[in-house]
Amino acid sequence: MTINQRVRGRILEAIVIFLAFALVNVASQAFQEPLSYHELVESGVFDAAYYHVMAEQLSLGELPETYAPFVYRIGTPLLVGLLFDDDNLLLGFKVVNLAANALTVILLVHWLRLYLGDWRIRILLVLLFLTQWHAPVRFLYYYPPFVDPWMFVFLLLGLILTHEVRQRPSWTKLLCLGVLSFVGVVFREVVLVIPLALLFVSNPIVTWAGLLPRLTSLRKLREAIRPPWPSWCLLVWGFSASSQHT
């Protein structure tokens, strides 16, 4: 594939994905019947009630107080509480999560480009993500007060940074991973998987025959990261802070 073909493919890819994202959101807004305020908040049946309570408390300047583990997932309710008043919190969840969905699609395309060279396959995979009814893009219009959309943002950012650490390791990238892990678990504790995944980027589980080449690879990775201690300390700090949220 020539450079011009690759550029044209990426432009077409961006146009198709943008139009698909817009179409799915418009169609969902027009045709998806959401759960009512009573079902979401007043009934207390769904976890949306706990997130709504936290957003309301934060919008009034109060400390959030509700049941665990929902109280640990303060990130999305905090954004909603800071940006919207207590009369428009459901709208606030929809807007904040819509922004997260847009970022997720952008990051998903970037992550797929790291491994898939064919733009047509990337479009197909993104379309499947957009049209899946319980994926965050469509589910938002049925169930606005949920915290999963920002989880996808942090997970994809973590995967992209982990790939960069593996390809071109540096202490700056490890620093970013530590900060990402620390902030991400405030939105959803599953982001803790990012520092855990970093431990396996060099595939440490090997046979005896592959042990020596693997040790050589790990030594090169260590030598490439300068200075090692500040970055690793911050990554451990992010990991330990993440553990305290779980």
Q: ∠ CA(17), CA(19), CA(21), 5° rounding?
A: 65
Q: What is the number of domains present in the chain?
A: 2
pLDDT of residue 197: 84
141 and 151 housed in the same domain: no
pLDDT of residue 95: 96
Domain limit, last residue, from 97, 119, 146? 146
pLDDT of residue 57: 92
196 and 179 housed in the same domain: yes
43 and 87 housed in the same domain: yes
pLDDT of residue 195: 87
- First vs last C-alpha separation in the chain: 47
CB atoms within 10 A of CB 3: 7
Report the amino acid identity of residue 20: A
Give the domain range for residue 206: 147-246
190 and 219 housed in the same domain: yes
139 and 164 housed in the same domain: no
Token pair 């479009």: residue: 123
Per-residue pLDDT of the chain (246 residues; tens, 9 = 90+): 566 777 888 899 999 999 999 999 999 999 999 888 888 887 777 888 899 999 999 998 888 888 888 899 999 999 999 999 888 899 999 999 999 999 999 999 999 999 998 899 999 999 999 999 999 999 999 999 999 999 999 999 999 999 998 888 888 888 889 899 999 999 999 999 998 888 877 766 655 555 556 556 555 555 555 544 455 555 555 556 555 555
116 and 197 housed in the same domain: no
133 and 233 housed in the same domain: no
Token pair 């959030």: residue: 64
Length of the chain: 246
134 and 45 housed in the same domain: yes
